[in-house]
Structure 1
Amino acid sequence: MRDLALVDSFGGTDADNDDILLKAFEDHEAYQDILKFKKFLVIGKKGSGKTAIFKKIITTRADDTFSYGHTFSDYPWHFHQQQAKAGIPNDEKFTHSWKYLILISLSKIILNQDNSLPFNDESREAMSKLEAFIVDAYGSRDPDLTQVFNPQREIRLKPHFELNFKILKAGASAESISIADLPTVIQEVNAQLMKLVLASLNPEHKYFIAFDQLDLGFDNKADDYISRLIGLLLAGRDINIAAKNAQVKFLVTVFLRDDIYNVLRFEDKNKITENFMSLIEWDTPRTTKTLKSLMEKIFSIVASDIDIEQDVKWSDIFNETREMPGHQSKYDHIKDRTYLRPRDMIKFANSALAKFKERLNSPASNTQDDKRKIDNIDIHSARHEYSEYFLREIDDEVHKHFPEYEKFLDVLRAVGTWQFEKSTFEIVLSQIFSKSDKTSSEALEELYDYSFIGFYKAGGSGYGGSEYVFKYRDSRASFSHASTRFRIHPGLIEVLGLKKV
């Protein structure tokens, strides 16, 4: 890059509000798998880039591509809760209500977005029946999807569907049914809706219904929450298989945090994992994707706004001819202070950029430091601001599920060093937080579960070298109660005032 001082920032950390981040994900395999209708489930840790791909899907505008995105910050879960189908296993009790919501969402696209429809006589007949049902049920061909399960609503079944009305409960009309009674016939209604929507679609066009922000209100002890998520995954899989069999390009796609997916237990989970799941990871043995390559895309996008240069490498921004302490490259030094998430890397890079620009404007600037690139002193200067950001990020995720974590952080502050022995932690815990209802092992395990700390794992013959194991690197790695040596995440060193000894 010709003049780094002209760069304001390397973009934002929030995919909801940053176009640069959206552009940077265009070649990610998870995004490409969706566009190719190969996989529908995208799994990754918070901040890994799921929402960037979700936004990319739902904001793409083309004459042959249509989408609708569901986010659940304002979704009326209490209405959906009432749609649980009684008398069937928990894993499946919400599957049919999810299918209904998906099919109504696709109907909205068919009736209001794709101007190529109807594209033949079969499509015309199916659309006519579909429109009649939607207008009759919701008063408009463009219904408000947050009101799909409003219990005050009734939907007419005749003459739109040919159902076995003997299954209706006593007192219910064969002409119409209340939303409260919909679970009694929803399986049959979905079957008829499925035929109509799939027959309506243009086989040359692409259609997507996407679900994000499913972690809002996450509680791994709430059975209904777990059942709803399982129901969505099963509904998405079934509809996607039906669409493929009908030879139309329609995909239900779901974005979910990896720690939430890991706690789900249901039949066929392994089949979904093996055949329909894309994993968003960075710098792990399971992927070729690195945060460095992502940042290089971001650098190039930023450079194109101020320069003719398009292909910007990491070493064009950071002076990698000088090592950081411990003989680390600047990339590894920064990466170790992240949760291997784009948002963390972008935040650190922006903080370092700001310190670089401050250095250029300072008359006391050291001539040893590179005047064209971010150098060691800029990295050091950025660490405290970044460390405060990092703790705030953790707080956003942890405070609901681990409300006493701040008291345990006080214990780590009092320990005072980056690496510590279990015996030291036990002594300080008894002094700082004597009223804790957790044993030292329980406290360490909880700190590990949220990646505040990692435990030492000794290497051995044939098993590779020794290492510190952190949950953020592998969400499936369990805590070792046998370990006696621990390390605090490097991103917390400054904010906790620790010594690196």
Structure 2
Amino acid sequence: MSTQGIFKGWLNKKAYGFIKIPDDSSDIFLHITHATNPLELSAGCQVEFEIDTSEKKRQAVNAKLIAPPHYPPLKDNGSSRVPYNNSHEQLQDSEQITDETLESEEIEELDTDAVNNALLSEISRWKREAKSEDNTRYFWHVREVDQISQGEKCFVIGRKGSGKTAICEHFSALSSHDVFSEKLSFKNFPFNELYDHKNAKYTKPNQFITIWKYLIYSSICRLMLKDNSVDLEIREQLSKIYDDKAPLSRRIGRWVSKDFGFSLFGLSLKITRSEDTHEPTNWIKNVDYLEDLLLNHVSESKYYILFDELDEDYRDIVAEEQFEQYTALITSLFKAVQDIRSIFGGGGAKILPIVFLRDDIYDLVKDSDKNKWGDFRVDLNWDVEKIKRLIAFRISRAIDQDCKNILPFDAAWGRVFGARRIGVGSNRQKSKISTFEFICRSTLIRPRDFVLYLQNCAQHAIESNVQIGPTVVRYVDKAFSNYLRQELTDELFAILPDISNTFDTISQLRKWNFSIPEFEQAYQQRVEQGFIQERNVKFVLQILFLFSVIGNSPRGGRYVFRYQNREARLNYNERVVVHRGLFKALQIL
């Protein structure tokens, strides 16, 4: 039976406090582990709880906040409200229990003296999307950036959240007298605009090479308008067509409808502006004209053409026609970039198209030239040490936006989380790990995961006016688990339209470690009940492993997940484990 009372506050440096019940001469003991959310409870707040009498002394369990301090309090076990002295008496060490075994790591967080609100406030404004963040302040210059800027690499491959867009935004912001960039974002882009421009001379999957080259060359022409080292007459002529503020989705239709045919320094080109949206039959020939124009008149400046968010049309991939069309488009882009590098690589021109693509989409591309692309590909792989350097950089910049001397990781982490360790397992008092290690276990070791986790911790700590410590980390862990499930749902939906019901199947097992036959049986039941359409359970298991929803559990107490080892393959003879970050969202814990 529920009871209501007034919480008197947490005993200083102890993991417990007491609840006063109106018209009851003795107070009720409350241990911090029996509060639904300890951070919500402060002296004078009204709580609802149950009384456990199984021990020698009465104690409150399942205590939760029902009204903050200064709200008209209760009397007669909550039957009515009467005025109450709001100067709530504070507990003294001598009042009640002093057993050292009841002390807990969590109670330390209730000391708000050392809370750095300015730092927490800055971290709480971090953005999970690089497009929305202050890249000048927070972009971490990784080795891969130098390889891209020097033209050594042009294909940037990585998982969602691995930093592709951050690098793209970095190059997009570059601007000087001899460096120009244009970002071609395909977010909300009508891909049929591209599918309608096949070159019938090419066989599959190369039929879109020409339209990609046309798009790249036209984008270079736009950048040449800003380049004062390009001949003025050429810039004036190009401005008649390419001085266009229209979004990319509208530009392509206009560009292919232009009639090229005027004389430009010996080239048989004439550029006229046409508003006719009818596609002329000679637009393919215009690619050669543009190529000649660039070979003869582009300057020695650097021109970056950035392709981002190409996964916008990555949906319904299970439909064969859609799959073939989309993969042909991506394959053609890689070949177009490779061809342009070959054409312009030997001279002074620095035309550098760069493609940013998810690794699972890249894996779908099958082509005889794919092995050659490896020389120009950079994989955005992250490990714990690399993540530590990134976090140290971001925290240092959160402290000082112009910081040059980046703090060591332990010092930077300590400024936010302190040195407290967090209990794990069945005996949290004895088995403890660092807060960083705890957070690592919930993530896929991606920058976005840590940015979001720290941002949520900072936001919750500010709202509760406490330091970030074990209790805050545990509180945020549930929200992060829900985020991770949604993130994986978005990633997997194109391949497994039944992914939400597949997650429900795992939830019904109520286990984080199970055999493949156990999963197959539960999955088959969902199929028979009509919740799931995909009948190939081995295909489903392969996809879940590919995206690190599950991993293998070989003997020896270690786990094998693909996010830790990209060469890992699902072993059907071993048990599988669910990624820890999904435990709470899948109601396994």
- The answer, yes or no, to whether TM exceeds 0.5 is yes
Question: Residue in 2 aligned with 1:380?
Answer: 474
Question: Residue in 1 aligned with 2:339?
Answer: 238
Alignment check: 8 A CA contact 1:41 1:255 kept: yes
**CA displacement, residues 125-178 of structure 1 (integer Å, 9 cap, x when unaligned):** xx63x754773xx4x5447453334598241335468689xxxxxxxxxxx997
The alignment partner of 2:563 has SS state of: helix
Shift of 1:451: 2.6
**CA displacement, residues 178-232 of structure 1 (integer Å, 9 cap, x when unaligned):** 735236x43xx334322322433332x3221111000111155421211111111
Question: Residue in 2 aligned with 1:448?
Answer: 545
1:351 and 1:133 mapped to 2: Cα distance?
Answer: 49
Question: Residue in 2 aligned with 1:264?
Answer: 365
Question: Residue in 2 aligned with 1:117?
Answer: 229
Alignment check: 8 A CA contact 2:457 2:472 kept: yes
Amino acid at match of 1:280: L
The alignment partner of 1:238 has SS state of: helix
Alignment check: 8 A CA contact 2:420 2:470 kept: no
2:174 and 2:305 mapped to 1: Cα distance?
Answer: 13
1:241 and 1:152 mapped to 2: Cα distance?
Answer: 24
Alignment check: 8 A CA contact 1:82 1:180 kept: no
The alignment partner of 1:92 has SS state of: coil
Question: Residue in 1 aligned with 2:451?
Answer: 346
Residue 478 of structure 1, aligned match among 544, 553, 569: 569
Shift of 1:473: 3.3
Shift of 1:492: 1.0
| TM-score, L = length of structure 2 | 0.68
Alignment check: 8 A CA contact 2:516 2:572 kept: no
Question: Residue in 1 aligned with 2:586?
Answer: 496
Amino acid at match of 1:259: D
Alignment CA distance shift 1:227-1:422 (3 Å): closer
Instruction: Write the mapping of 1:298-447 to structure 2, written as runs, cut at 5 A.
Output: 298-305=394-401, 311=407, 313-320=412-419, 322=421, 324-325=423-424, 327-357=432-462, 360-361=465-466, 374-431=468-525, 434-435=528-529, 436=532, 437-438=534-535, 440-447=537-544
Question: Residue in 2 aligned with 1:207?
Answer: 303
Shift of 1:330: 2.4
Question: Residue in 1 aligned with 2:383?
Answer: 283
2:471 and 2:364 mapped to 1: Cα distance?
Answer: 43
The alignment partner of 1:313 has SS state of: helix
Shift of 1:117: 2.7
Do residues 156 (structure 1) and 246 (structure 2) align?
A: no
Question: Residue in 2 aligned with 1:190?
Answer: 287
Residue 132 of structure 2, aligned match among 17, 23, 27: 17
Shift of 1:411: 1.9
1:94 and 1:425 mapped to 2: Cα distance?
Answer: 42
**CA displacement, residues 7-57 of structure 1 (integer Å, 9 cap, x when unaligned):** 21421101111115x643341122222222221111110111101111111
2:133 and 2:157 mapped to 1: Cα distance?
Answer: 21
Question: Residue in 2 aligned with 1:181?
Answer: 281
The alignment partner of 1:60 has SS state of: coil
Question: Residue in 2 aligned with 1:227?
Answer: 328
Do residues 8 (structure 1) and 105 (structure 2) align?
A: no
Alignment check: 8 A CA contact 1:387 1:493 kept: yes
Amino acid at match of 1:238: D
Alignment check: 8 A CA contact 1:16 1:52 kept: yes
Shift of 1:442: 4.1
Larger radius of gyration: 2
**CA displacement, residues 370-405 of structure 1 (integer Å, 9 cap, x when unaligned):** x5xx32222222211211222222222223432212
Alignment CA distance shift 1:254-1:377 (3 Å): same
Higher relative contact order (CA 8 A, sep 6+): 1
Alignment check: 8 A CA contact 1:236 1:252 kept: yes
2:567 and 2:479 mapped to 1: Cα distance?
Answer: 31
Shift of 1:347: 1.3
Consecutive unaligned residues in structure 2, runs of 5 or more: 1-113, 270-275, 425-430
Question: Residue in 1 aligned with 2:155?
Answer: 41
The alignment's C-alpha RMSD in Å is 3.2
Residue 100 of structure 1, aligned match among 195, 210, 214: 214
Alignment CA distance shift 1:177-1:163 (3 Å): farther
Consecutive unaligned residues in structure 1, runs of 5 or more: 165-175, 362-370, 459-464
Do residues 216 (structure 1) and 329 (structure 2) align?
A: no
Question: Residue in 2 aligned with 1:90?
Answer: 204
Task: Give the length in aligned residue pairs.
Answer: 447
The alignment partner of 2:588 has SS state of: coil
Shift of 1:104: 0.7
Amino acid at match of 1:8: S
The structure with the largest strand share of the pair is 2
Alignment check: 8 A CA contact 1:41 1:277 kept: yes
Alignment check: 8 A CA contact 2:496 2:540 kept: no
1:441 and 1:377 mapped to 2: Cα distance?
Answer: 40
**CA displacement, residues 452-488 of structure 1 (integer Å, 9 cap, x when unaligned):** 2112245xxxxxx6643323334553333333x1111
Alignment check: 8 A CA contact 1:450 1:471 kept: yes
The alignment partner of 1:259 has SS state of: helix
| TM-score, L = length of structure 1 | 0.79
